[in-house]
Structure 1
């Protein structure tokens, strides 16, 4: 499949998989927008393969997860090396990886997160939670930064890009606590659960609902902290990219804000942000993009592994 057709398929994928990201992506300059779609197409496909889903919906049992992860690694490696795999999402990754020189270790790091899920992993500590969020979302933020022209050696900006991925994933976890519990998963650190006197194997116990809501709110607060940090990093991007990132940060950040405002309703229904609010953030982000954020440090925030590794 040629690049033009891959872009068409990638656009369809993002519009099905994430209305929030699809709307924000339209703010990018054309070349960056297409590359963002191509990267998303691969990320979405990997996530769906790992969870037995279709564009993030309908989680089902993956009967041989180790084999699935191994195939994912193999096709990603081939695509990164410039080979045609015959699998469109992976070929899409190959195109954007070749065009932007995306380091392979970021792709490997993302797949490592899916491998954790395949083995039924659960975080013991808050640091474990952040490490997981880095693998499945922070590494994607780093790859997106490279797509937007950031050097793979610019560690400070990559840290901020990672922070946006962490913010998104923390919001996802907060939103999906009940759905994850039904699938036998839990991303709340065991130390948090112990402090709240919640049984890790029965986190939906009605008797501990109020305590669980406090932990969900804690996730939302952390998402807000990493969103603020990511906004600083956006100042280093070209205007169109800065506008898109700030819009995405606001749109997705509203998910965490709505979850906290819902006072536990996220345990009973999926929290969405409406079309009007999304459009509102696009307008608001335009103004924010005109004024570069002041510098703030990242003191107290978790930092991704920063060793420079071979591409």
Structure 2
């Protein structure tokens, strides 16, 4: 079987250039585990969407998606039972589970999120959207935090907040792209408030209103980013630096969405390489300041933020 670390590094470089840049800052052992977990998450997402490393799109029916989800669930069960896998992404996951004791519930919470996509779920309320954000990204933040040694519940909750912030940013950036493949993660109540029927989202006359709703998601993400900054103070310094850099890079995407003119808001907003480097440098200072106040009471409350009921 191919070298799993090399396989995982390829997956993260091709699947998420922003996170790949931040992942370079981890110590080698943590970096291997983080990239291997990412490779499994990316593989599962691609299987459900019919993509390759987040790119391309096959037309898959709901029954085919359900069959693919069952395959992912069965293979994940095998890993949790300590059985080997011939699929590189699952072999990589097995190493992460063994090293860090990642609980089965978290793996299946992520698969539940992919199941929402497989079932082409609709999101009526903001809570519905946030529930989805947790299951496809917040729980990834939880597992990443576990890899970095976090066990305190408050830190775990704030790690979930970072994942939720990342996904809110993704949704805000990709409203038009998602709409083109029949998906909408904006709360339908928001659409109704703006006088937009879901089936009419594609009409040019609604473009400005959709951009305004995307900007609302960006503003909401700011609350989750602020919470996540508090949690990173409890991480080892190099981990805090990597997470701070990822936060700043991803947050920049949302700020670019907000700053864009509605007419120019199309395609994926990207952070230029020089800006990413600047965020990595700034992340050093953010992480250093965060770790320095490690023993101080949190300055940002989580009051009002979405929290999984049984977290």
TM-score by length of 2: 0.94
**Per the alignment, do residues 178 and 266 of structure 1 end up closer, same or farther by CA in structure 2, a change over 3 Å counting?**
farther
Query: Is 1:107–2:111 an aligned residue pair?
Result: no
Offset of residue 144 of structure 1: 0.4
Residue deviations 1:40-63 (CA, integer Å, cap 9, x gap): 000000010011111111122224
1:73 counterpart = 2:77: no
SS in 2 for 1:201: helix
Query: Counterpart of 1:119?
Result: 119
Counterpart CA distance in 2 for 1:89 and 1:188 is 31
Task: State the alpha-carbon separation in 1 of the partners of residues 248 and 263 from structure 2.
Answer: 21
CA distance in 2 between partners of 1:162 and 1:88 (Å): 26
1:213 is matched with which residue: 211, 214, 220? Answer: 211
**Aligned position for 1:199:** 197
Task: Specify the alignment match of 2:85 in structure 1.
Answer: 85
Q: CA deviation at 1:265?
A: 5.2
Residue 266 to residue 175, structure 1, CA distance change in 2 (3 Å): farther
User: For the residues of structure 2 that align with 1:117 and 1:208, how far apart are their CA atoms?
Assistant: 25
Cα distance in 2 for residues equivalent to 1:38 and 1:123 = 31
- Equivalent in the alignment of 1:274: 272
Match in the other structure for 1:306: 310
Is this contact kept in 2: 1:155–1:306, CA < 8 A? no
* Structure 1: tracts of 5 or more residues without a match: none
Query: Is 2:164–2:224's contact at 8 Å kept on the other side of the alignment?
Result: yes
Segments of 5+ residues of structure 2 without an aligned counterpart are: none
In structure 1, the partner of 2:8 is 10
Matched, 1:47 2:45: yes
| Equivalent runs, 1:220-259 vs 2, <5 Å | 220-259=218-257
CA distance in 1, matches of 2:100, 2:263: 42
Q: Which runs of 4+ in 1 moved over 6 A?
A: none
Per-residue CA distance 1:229-266 (angstroms, 9 max, x = gap): 11110000000000000000000110101111113256
Change (3 A) 1:156 1:266: farther
The number of equivalent residue pairs is: 303
Whole-angstrom CA distance in 2 between matches of 1:302 and 1:51: 27
> What is the aligned partner in structure 2 of residue 297 from structure 1?
301
Change in CA separation of 1:266 and 1:83 when aligned onto 2, cut-off 3 Å = farther
1:150 equivalent to 2:154? Answer no
Q: CA deviation at 1:303?
A: 1.0
**1:72, 1:306 → 2: CA distance?**
24
